[in-house]
Amino acid sequence: MISGVDPSALPDRTRASAPSTLAEAVFCFGRETVAFQSLAPGMRAWSDGAGAWVAFADTGQAWIAVGSPLCAPEQTGRVARAFVQAARVAGRRAGFCAVEEVPRDPFFERLPLGRQPVWDPLQWERVLAGRKSLREQIRRARAKGVRARVARGEELGGALGAAMAALSARWLAGRRGGPLGFLLSVDLFSRPSERLYVVAERDERLVAVLVAVPVPGRGGWFFEDILRADDAPNGTVELVVDAAMRALAGASCRRVTMGLVPFAGPLPRGLRILRRLGHDIYDFEGLRAFRARFAPDAWEPVWFVRPRGTREIVALWDVASALTGGHPLRFAFRAWAEGRRRRLRRGGGGASAG
């Protein structure tokens, strides 16, 4: 096994009793990439009292759920309606963020958020065989003395855990606009026995870490965070991805994703405009190109699902509020201003993303 999860200790989806906790529901019904993030610190939880659960963030104006309701697939529409009604009773709007399996219910409509790349780790050798540039990057990192390995859980309580925390702090300090929350928060250490840690070291110093979380209902894994030191040699990220793919292939895993690339794929006109406006805040195309470098087997659509009649701009505002702790305009201004300062320091002052 590559993680500390004991399958015999996890809730049995076929059992007669309904999940009594959010964690049990995640391991019973969590089929979407973001399911495990329901257990992140700070998430709120709602239950219908019959075993269905929804994790969500309260922005003050809306309850934004983490993916679809955690319940049997045939119950998704009913539970989603009940959650929306509970939000309305609390004086909130409601929506479901990063949904992959949209309920077939006329009460709801969907809005594309982007696409996520997926791989079959058992086909990773085929990917490498067809990508000379990827093989070369891995070779470069190894030639510089970088070594990647799966870390043991007990190591996190010592020097390795401290080095990971320091790397995370440095990485967060460099993010435009400051740290994000909700589905984009960096959470390396909660429920560590259920995570996969792959570290890259050079001269006994940590230069990168990949942290993956399970997608229990599909037997898959989500590469939630990949953090790299500024001075890590070229190819270090490719090396940790390669090590993770090989470890998962050895465990007969058939599904891996790196998660949502916002605004990737076909978009309605309003979202295309928003993508252009957001170019100075975040390099969405750069993120898509980075993940495409690993030659995914497919790109799957990811949606925001909201009650029919909710205006598109309102839905997007609610998602942005959840991600920025209720202050999307403040975050956008800080990110834009920092990007502009970086361009000026480089002496260009042009329109390229920093």
Position 74 scores a pLDDT of 94
Closest CA to 53 of 31, 32, 74, 29: 29
Strand partners of residue 1? none
| Token output for 64 | 């934004």
Burial class (CB in 10 A: 0-12, 13-18, 19+), 58: middle
Is residue 242 within 8 A of residue 293, CB to CB? The reply is: no
Position 311 scores a pLDDT of 86
Three-class secondary structure assignment of 83-142: HHHHHHHCCCEEEEEEECCCCCCCCEEEEEEEEEEEECHHHHHHHHHHCHHHHHHHHHHH
- DSSP secondary structure string, 146-193? EEEEEPPGGGGGSHHHHHHHHHHHHHHHTSTTS---GGG----SSSGG
Please list, in sequence order, all residues whose beta carbon lies within 8 angstroms of the beta carbon of residue 202, skipping any fewer than 6 positions away.
144, 145, 146, 147, 232, 233
The pLDDT tens digits along the chain (354 residues) read 454 443 333 344 444 578 999 999 999 999 999 999 999 988 999 999 999 999 999 989 999 999 999 999 999 999 999 999 999 999 999 999 999 998 889 999 999 989 999 999 999 999 999 999 999 999 999 999 999 999 998 899 999 999 999 999 988 776 654 555 555 668 888 899 999 999 999 999 999 999 999 999 999 999 999 999 999 999 999 999 999 999 999 999 999 999 998 877 887 777 777 667 666 666 778 889 999 999 999 999 999 999 999 888 888 888 777 766 655 556 555 555 666 665 666 654 433 332
- Angstrom distance (rounded) from CA 236 to CA 269: 38
CATH top-level class of 117-264: alpha beta
User: Cα dist. 184→1, 118, 181, 261, 292 in Å?
Assistant: 28, 19, 5, 12, 20
- Angstrom distance (rounded) from CA 134 to CA 225: 20
**Rg of the Cα trace of the chain?**
20
- Angstrom distance (rounded) from CA 342 to CA 340: 5
User: Cα dist. 332→154, 266, 278, 338 in Å?
Assistant: 39, 24, 8, 10
Position 10 scores a pLDDT of 39
Position 3 scores a pLDDT of 47
| Token output for 345 | 């320091």
User: Cα dist. 257→277, 296, 300, 346 in Å?
Assistant: 27, 9, 10, 35
Backbone phi, psi, residue 96, to 5°: -125, 115
